[in-house]
Chains A and B, each alone.
Chain A
Amino acid sequence: MTPLQIIFIIVAVITLFAAIKVVSSRNLVHAALWLILVLFGIAVFFVILSAGFFAAAQVVIYIGAIAILMIFTIMLTRRVARDSGAQHNSNWWAAAVLSLLLFTGLSWILSRWQGFQSTAQPMLESADPLRQLGEGLVAPGGYLIPFEVASILLVAALIGAITVAWERK
């Protein structure tokens, strides 16, 4: 066991535990806080994977924007959030069976892949993935179109969200 592996296991256990709490907590504010812990754990994995940019983006976008937005919504609809009643529907056991089956199936499929045990090559000293990503996102031969379309999507989502959430007199 290398130190990195130990770190991985610790973070993975915390992340998965937090994820289970996200889907099982009765109090939704707690669930949202557990979600933040999951997102933070994933940011740690991005650091281990030498994708520092994504670790930062994870914290800024997912934790800073998305999770906070969710907490806001929970607060705005809090009469429901504090509901002490059951937070799961009557079919939760079927959902549990389905999810377990899915996990088994996915693990089996993954284990059949020949690259399953491969390890990473060390990153080249000269490699600069962030620069490559930045250039790739605006290069006509790269991801220019998805980049532009993402902006259309975000504008449409912005306009749409305002349209339905804004109470007209």
Chain B
Amino acid sequence: MISGTFNPSMILSILPEISILVLGFLVLFFDLFLSKEHHDKLGWITAGGLGVIIIGCLLVIRPNESVLQTFAFGGMIRYDWMGFTFKMLFLFSAAITAMFAMGMEKIGKRGEFYLLMLASTIGMCLMASAADLIMLYLAIETTSIPLYILAGFITQDEKSTEAGFKYLLFGAMTSAILLYGFSLLYGFTGTTQIYKISNIIQSGGIPTELSFGVLILVIVGFAFKISAVPLHFWAPDVYEGAPTPVAGFLSTASKAAGFSVLLRVLLIAFPEILPYWSAFLVAISTLTMTIGNLLALTQKNIKRMLAYSSIAHAGYALIGLGSITYDSFFGMSSVVFYLIAYVITNLAAFGVVAAFGRVSGSDDIAAYAGLSRRSPALALAMLVAFLSLAGMPPFGGFVVKFIVFAAAVQANLIWLAVVGVLNSIIGLYYYLTVLKVVYLYRSEDEEKPLPIPRSYSLALGVLVTGILLIGIVMAPWLNLSIKSVVSLF
């Protein structure tokens, strides 16, 4: 019989989710009662609300360590640093995405857009802290289903509707496979609690091939979310067609959510077969980096190029996952650290693309010619974001790449680190090609103004500062990452 009474302190463990829900209702309310010309304020309400939630959570929950590392609501939710770190990351990217969205003609004035984005954010937050397969499956779907709509949000645009449609078909298929894996996991172990599964696998004598087979089904679902090869092919089409802020959200928050789940499930439920899955992930990581980078080389459209680049970045983060060993937290924390820097950097990259695309109406790389003269500030933000993606010092991307490769070396996977470095060189080439167009090429459009709304300047300013902060002072971020993975166990 299920027992358990309600304990007010349990509220703390889902405070971010509850606050987002309240914010969602506020947005709905304002959507109804705000006059038409004030509808562009909805983005500020969303972004500001999310900012308040972040600050509130940092003040209320963070110091209250007694709440942390406990199970709440019958083991559905585990409240730990891991979940908290990722939740803050998701809230941050949602706030930034709202600021980018409000400058877009067709999405910025629609209350539904912000509401769906908030619903998806609730799903991500729950993904990061779910400790039960039922909760986890539901959280994954709560993240994905609103995202399908967001990708297809611009119904007047053929490309956008098609992006939403493709994303849905691939997503529905892979999530069904994932779910089948979950159902077998529940059947074989008799429990859906992630933290109990590993004990039962150990004591119940479930053969290795059984748990590995189930794990493959589960990894299929996660590989789709993080767009790892061979389940990457949806990403370029969807990113290209989806509204640019949504593409940025998909490639950062949604991907980070996939990794947070992957970390928890692999490390907590399947520690027995660590050598098997880490070898498997090393193979996927090598393929993902290489294919992502090679295909990025030939792209003419900047959103497609960023899509392939974000596939490659999933590969780099997977290096960290493949380098996990029993005796050190280094591999795991390198993944978390990588994701923090990647999310901030890639949001900036998509922000620049959105700022440029909303004025010029084009996403072709060739259209960026002369951008440095048209808008030096935007070109500078682009320079910072792209060099950070390429892994150049002194930006955040350099530090985290270094740490991930160091984790590979520490796990005796020196060849993997070498593959990673070679891939970074390919990456550097295509990022620099774009920067060359921006800084060296001339075009007739140079005299045309490129107005940048206030929300973009603010968001890009915050992101560029973040990239520099990670690149220059890395200790607090690394400590946070280590604290997060330690709290997993």
B233 to chain A, nearest CB (A): 13
**Tally of chain B residues near chain A (CB < 8 A):** 48
Do A149 and B73 have beta carbons less than 8 Å apart? no
Q: Which residues of B contact A114 (CB under 8 A)?
A: 205-206
- With A109-B210, A145-B135, A146-B135 as contacts: A140 and B6 at CB distance below 8 Å: yes
Do B76 and A143 have beta carbons less than 8 Å apart? yes
Closest to A165 in B: B155
CA distance A153 to B142 in the complex (A): 5
CA distance A114 to B206 in the complex (A): 8
Do B209 and A112 have beta carbons less than 8 Å apart? yes
Do A160 and B149 have beta carbons less than 8 Å apart? yes
CA distance A40 to B63 in the complex (A): 54
Binds A, one of B47-55, B111-119, B252-260, B263-271: B111-119
Do A149 and B142 have beta carbons less than 8 Å apart? yes
B46 to chain A, nearest CB (A): 15
Contact of A156 among B74, B77, B145, B213 (CB under 8 A): B145
Do B3 and A153 have beta carbons less than 8 Å apart? no
Contact of A142 among B74, B115, B184 (CB under 8 A): B74
Closest to B74 in A: A141
A135 interface residue, CB < 8 Å from B?
Answer: yes
**Tally of chain A residues near chain B (CB < 8 A):** 33
B85 to chain A, nearest CB (A): 21
Closest to A157 in B: B145
CA distance A146 to B139 in the complex (A): 8
Closest to A161 in B: B149
Do B149 and A141 have beta carbons less than 8 Å apart? no
Do B142 and A152 have beta carbons less than 8 Å apart? yes
CA distance A150 to B77 in the complex (A): 15
Q: Which residues of A contact B74 (CB under 8 A)?
A: 139-144
B195-207 near A? 1/0 per residue, CB < 8 Å: 0000000000111
Q: Which residues of A contact B10 (CB under 8 A)?
A: 140
Do B4 and A163 have beta carbons less than 8 Å apart? no
Do B6 and A153 have beta carbons less than 8 Å apart? no
Do B14 and A145 have beta carbons less than 8 Å apart? yes
CA distance A116 to B1 in the complex (A): 27
B474 interface residue, CB < 8 Å from A?
Answer: no
Do B76 and A145 have beta carbons less than 8 Å apart? yes
CA distance A109 to B155 in the complex (A): 44
A126-145 near B? 1/0 per residue, CB < 8 Å: 00000010011001111111
CA distance A17 to B55 in the complex (A): 58
Do B2 and A141 have beta carbons less than 8 Å apart? yes
Do B188 and A156 have beta carbons less than 8 Å apart? no
Do B149 and A163 have beta carbons less than 8 Å apart? yes
Contact of B21 among A110, A152, A157, A168 (CB under 8 A): A152
Most buried by A among B4, B14, B138: B138
B214 interface residue, CB < 8 Å from A?
Answer: yes
Q: Which residues of B contact A142 (CB under 8 A)?
A: 2, 4, 74
CA distance A9 to B376 in the complex (A): 73
A93 interface residue, CB < 8 Å from B?
Answer: no
Q: Which residues of A contact B1 (CB under 8 A)?
A: 132
Contact of B73 among A105, A106, A141 (CB under 8 A): A141
- With A109-B209, A145-B76, A149-B122 as contacts: A164 and B155 at CB distance below 8 Å: yes
A109 to chain B, nearest CB (A): 4
B146 interface residue, CB < 8 Å from A?
Answer: yes
B26 to chain A, nearest CB (A): 15
A167 interface residue, CB < 8 Å from B?
Answer: yes
Most buried by B among A110, A139, A168: A139
CA distance A168 to B138 in the complex (A): 31
B141 interface residue, CB < 8 Å from A?
Answer: yes
Q: Which residues of B contact A161 (CB under 8 A)?
A: 149
Given contacts A139-B4, A164-B155, A168-B155, 15 further A-B contacts (CB under 8 A): A112-B207, A113-B206, A115-B187, A115-B188, A139-B3, A139-B74, A140-B10, A140-B73, A143-B134, A145-B14, A145-B76, A146-B138, A153-B142, A163-B110, A164-B149
Which residues of A are interface residues toward B (Cβ below 8 A)?
Answer: 105-106, 109-110, 112-115, 132, 135-136, 139-146, 149-150, 152-153, 155-157, 159-161, 163-164, 167-168
List 24 A–B pairs whose Cβ atoms lie within 8 Å, in order of A's numbering.
A105-B213, A106-B213, A112-B207, A115-B188, A139-B4, A140-B5, A140-B10, A141-B2, A141-B3, A141-B74, A144-B74, A145-B76, A145-B77, A146-B134, A149-B123, A152-B119, A152-B142, A153-B119, A155-B119, A157-B146, A160-B146, A163-B116, A164-B153, A164-B155
Ranked 10 nearest A-B pairs via Cβ? A141-B4, A160-B149, A156-B119, A142-B2, A141-B74, A109-B213, A140-B6, A153-B142, A145-B73, A145-B76
